[in-house]
Amino acid sequence: MTTTNPNFTDAEYEGRITRTRAEMEKRGIDLLIISDPSNMNWISGYDGWSFYVHQAVLLPLEGEPVWWGRGIDEAGAKRTVFMRRAESIVSYDDTYVQNPQKHTMEALAALIIDRGWNTGWIGVEMDNYYYSAAAHQTLVNHLHEARFEDATGMVNWQRLVKSESELLYMRRAARIVERMHNVILEVAEPGMAKNMLVAEIAKAGIEGADGQWGDYPAIVPMAPSGLDATAAHLTWDDRPMRAGEATFFEIAGVHRRYHCPQSRTLFFGAVPDLYRHAEEAVLEATEAGLAQCFPGARAEDVANAFNAALNKRGFEKDNRCGYSIGLSYPPDWGERTLSLRRGDMTELKPGMVIHFMPALWLEDGGLEITEPVLITEQGPEPLCTTPREIFVK
């Protein structure tokens, strides 16, 4: 078996496994079933667009992890995982795929029984996009001797502090998203069909920057204009862009699955006073929040400082103002761990990367000026150099 496309050294994967197993032992988990594709990749290196069917990486307390998935994806596993033993890659036959007469988890249960892992505590990611109620019920029904523990987020939290190799990929992604914003400024104009602009954004993202290729994003470009931009998560259509309207672009550069999201707002014509006031408030509040981004601070310290400064300017934001980022697959580029909001007592540590997301949705549009920020011993390091302002054409 030949591993042809590992993104990291064996030593790095082994270090990740050691950290995860320490948490497993702390919780009394004997076998961890990892179904989140981001966590699967982080533990094993597996990379493929196969998460629409059931798949997993099994992590026992000893031995190599085991990739388990659909038969036609076995070749992809052999080309991307770091494991080298033949028994570390196991697939199920295609009769389990979308067949109401049988469930894929019956095959996984059989594998677990065959390996002798069916009599202890099994951790599963209960609140995960890719682990369904039917999947869990099937495992419970077939593994009568096992006891199940909710391990949602357990691997995610091990990913919070990035290695130097991971930060290298995120810095490359930062160069890509910078280029994507430059392309927007170059080509966007009133009358241009929105889908044609998004096509240019996607092209720039995939072409990459500085000789580094661009991967696909976990979230498609958000690019609403005018009243559509009062909503947070609308995408695009074919309507022409218009003078006198704001459009925010929530996009990400991606390299080897590592995301660097950044948002900017573009206005055609003279910017109304409301937007200028909102811009001043957001920039001032952003600086107040960043001033708290030092090791030892809590996530809520950043949010409280941001909101206090924003409120003084007469604006309010009733949702979180940031979250951790890194390795991800659709449908979300967030890591689903740390959030910048009141009550989140997560301690900031060097190597964490946060998407500082001070977006405001106004009466007739939206304003997004966001920053991907690395926590260092010296404080916050914005990963991008894109000017922090409303873009005007």
Instruction: Say if 322 falls within a structural domain.
Output: yes
Contact 388, 374 (CB under 8 A): no
Query: Is residue 10 scored above 70 in pLDDT?
Result: yes
Query: Is residue 7 scored above 90 in pLDDT?
Result: no
**Domain end point (choices 158, 175, 193):** 158
Same domain, 20 and 40: yes
pLDDT on residue 364: 87
Instruction: Say if 87 falls within a structural domain.
Output: yes
Read off the CATH number of the domain in which 324 is found: 3.90.230.10
Token pair belonging to 160 = 């919070």
**Domain end point (choices 95, 124, 158):** 158
Same domain, 208 and 239: yes
Same domain, 247 and 202: yes
Query: What are the residues whose beta carbons fall under 8 Å from the beta carbon of 155, sequence distance 6 or more?
Result: 20, 32, 34, 36, 39, 42, 43, 125
Query: Is residue 122 scored above 60 in pLDDT?
Result: yes
pLDDT on residue 2: 42
What percent of the chain shows pLDDT beyond 70?
A: 98
CB contact burial 51-90 (16+ within 10 A = b; e otherwise): bebbbbbbbbeeebbbbbbbeebbebbbbbbbbeeeebbb
DSSP 329: -
Q: What is the count of structural domains for the chain? A: 2
Same domain, 382 and 267: yes
Instruction: Say if 46 falls within a structural domain.
Output: yes
Same domain, 191 and 286: yes
Say how far apart CA 335 and CA 342 lie, in whole Å: 18
Same domain, 277 and 152: no
Same domain, 147 and 198: no
In which element (H, E) is residue 370 found? none
Say how far apart CA 155 and CA 20 lie, in whole Å: 6
pLDDT on residue 227: 93
Instruction: Say if 27 falls within a structural domain.
Output: yes
Alpha helices in 220-349 (DSSP H): 273-290, 299-312
pLDDT on residue 6: 63
Query: Tell me: the pLDDT tens digits for 140-186?
Result: 999 999 999 999 999 999 999 999 999 999 999 999 999 999 999 99
DSSP 343: T
**Domain end point (choices 124, 143, 158):** 158
For residue 5, name the pLDDT band (cuts at 50, 70, 90).
low
Same domain, 276 and 387: yes
Instruction: Say if 5 falls within a structural domain.
Output: no
Same domain, 221 and 256: yes
Over residues 34-53, the mean pLDDT reads 97
pLDDT on residue 1: 38
Whether omega before 190 lies within 30 degrees of 0, making that bond cis, reads no
Mean pLDDT of the chain: 96
Instruction: Say if 283 falls within a structural domain.
Output: yes
CA 166, 171, 175, 181 torsion: positive or negative? positive
Of residues 259 and 7, more confidently modeled: 259
Write down the residue that tokens 């240019």 correspond to: 200
Query: Tell me: the pLDDT tens digits for 53-103?
Result: 999 999 999 999 999 999 999 999 999 999 989 999 999 999 999 999 999
What percent of the chain shows pLDDT beyond 90?
A: 95
Instruction: Say if 207 falls within a structural domain.
Output: yes
Same domain, 119 and 227: no
Same domain, 307 and 350: yes
Instruction: Say if 103 falls within a structural domain.
Output: yes
pLDDT on residue 3: 46
Among residues 30, 260, 283, 34, the alpha carbon closest in space to that of 166 is found at 260
Query: Tell me: the pLDDT tens digits for 180-238?
Result: 999 999 999 999 999 999 999 999 999 999 999 999 999 999 999 999 999 989 999 99
Domain boundaries, position 40: 10-158
Read off the CATH number of the domain in which 43 is found: 3.40.350.10
Same domain, 103 and 237: no
Among residues 133, 109, 250, the alpha carbon closest in space to that of 184 is found at 250
Contact 175, 53 (CB under 8 A): no
User: What is the pTM for the complete model shown?
Assistant: 0.96
